[in-house]
Amino acid sequence: MTIQTGQPLPDVPLAVVDGGERQNTRSGELFAGRRVVMFAVPGAFTPTCSEKHLPGFVARFDAFRARGFEVFCLSVNDAFVMQAWALAQGVPPGLKMLADGNGEFTRALGLELDGSAYGMGLRVRRFALVAEDGVVTALAVEAPGEFRVSSAEAMLEAIGG
């Protein structure tokens, strides 16, 4: 079942890359006591993810911070790939790159995507959410092949920006 607004985010292991540094943590710990906008991409270094989705959040990172929100990017990639992608994209320190290498968080959210037809295996659907103290307050899941409701612009509008 897909996570819904009003529900707490699942608590599972994740790797985080922030400012080029990797660390292991748990999602429950990561979201506790924070106001977060998290967006998810099917894969680091893939066209829409690298040309539009992540760059939009990088460009508007300060606008989210000014409204009191942290920004997290989630992908079913390992921490080394997320670290390299962050470096290649000029991700600012503070924009956390979440590596869900085994797809555990993605499956717990109910937002998995079968990319087997493209040689990608299990991936996460493109989406964005707002969470306050680990509880989802807004959720925008893209239709297959779309990139609209999970953009940085759409999420700024969702948080009143």
N- to C-terminal Cα separation, the chain: 30
pLDDT tens-digit map of 86-129: 999 999 999 999 999 999 999 999 999 888 888 777 889 999 99
pLDDT at 161: 63
Angle at 141 between CA 79 and CA 32, to 5 degrees: 55
pTM exceeding the 0.85 threshold for the entire prediction: yes
CA dist list (Å): 46 to 6, 24, 110, 120: 31, 24, 22, 11
What residues are annotated to the active site? 49
Domain architecture of the chain: domains with CATH? 13-158 (3.40.30.10)
